[in-house]
Amino acid sequence: MSVATERAPSRGIATPWRSIKGEFGDSDKRTGYIMVLPTLVIVLLIAAGPIAYAIYLSLWRILPGDWTFVGLGNYATLFSDPEFYTALFNTAVFTIGSVALEGAFGLTIALVLNRGFVGQGAARAIAIVPWAFPTVVSGIMWRLMYTDQVGIFAYIADSLGLVDGPILANTTAVLIGAIISDVWKTTPFVALLLLAGMQVIPLDVYEAARVDGATKWQQFTRVTLPLLRPAIMVALLFRTLDAWRVYDLFWALTDRSLDSLSVYTFKFVRISQLNLSVGNAAAVFVFLSSLLIAAVFIKVLGTRAQEA
């Protein structure tokens, strides 16, 4: 029996406590943690302090001069409001639709820009122009294009009979228009992230695939996509979280006629409506749901990226 085999049982099963003990058992690592600790505490206070306070406020019914502890009562009020589920549905449809289209178009654009051709630099510069527009400016611009009698898309939709009446007066049409607007603006961001991921893939890998007789499609599915999974995970995670908390695009494009979760939250948080407590509960829901989405992305896509 080898020495390694004889010593193996003594190591035991790895546990979180063993990992922590191993980290702090090393004097160099322990010194590093001690030096980083003050900055870490400050970051935690800045980030976790407002979140903890928002959760605390969501447990109280707050009126001028009157605070009453209601526990989960504000959440019960929130989940019994039909408008909340409308905002949740709009946000979910917007997130799924925009992220799916941005991922597909962004990957296509990245593949094109990754190929060598005359004017490649100019093409990359032009591709990021929509992303340079502030979201509010982009929303107002697209709102004008959707406006009846003056907008180009309103004219096309009316000519083809796609919409019965003004686009901005149709909830479904406005939601689709919001998805189109977001895809136009944010696809360059996804394309740039994926292009950066493609740039670090070694050319030797493609050369080896060609020597083995792989076709272009096989190179894409068996080389590019597996090695691009970490970049895809980052791009989809960023865009999903950004789309899930969308506020300014809905506000500017629909002129408050269509609610997202963030727009719904703002309507309650305003002091003038005296519904600050329910608004805090809605804000906490947006935060916790975003945290859950991030955890799922990191768990599922992160595991696949490591396997690749």
Neighbours of 142 (CB within 10 A): 22
Two structure tokens written together for 271: 């002091």
What does the pLDDT profile of the chain (308 residues) look like in tens digits? 444 444 444 444 445 556 666 666 677 777 878 888 888 888 888 888 888 888 998 898 887 778 889 899 999 989 999 999 999 999 999 999 999 999 999 999 999 888 877 777 788 888 888 888 888 999 999 999 988 888 888 888 888 887 777 888 888 889 999 999 999 999 999 999 999 999 888 888 888 888 888 888 888 888 888 889 888 988 999 999 999 999 989 988 887 778 899 988 888 776 556 678 888 899 999 999 999 998 888 887 665 555 55
In angstroms and rounded to an integer, the radius of gyration of the C-alpha atoms of the chain is 25
- Can you list the domains of the chain with their CATH numbers? 16-57 (no CATH), 76-307 (1.10.3720.10)
State the angle between helix axes of 120-127 and 82-113 in degrees (0 to 180), rounded to the nearest 10. 170
Prediction pTM value:
0.82
Answer whether 253's CB lies under 8 Å from 181's CB.
Answer: yes
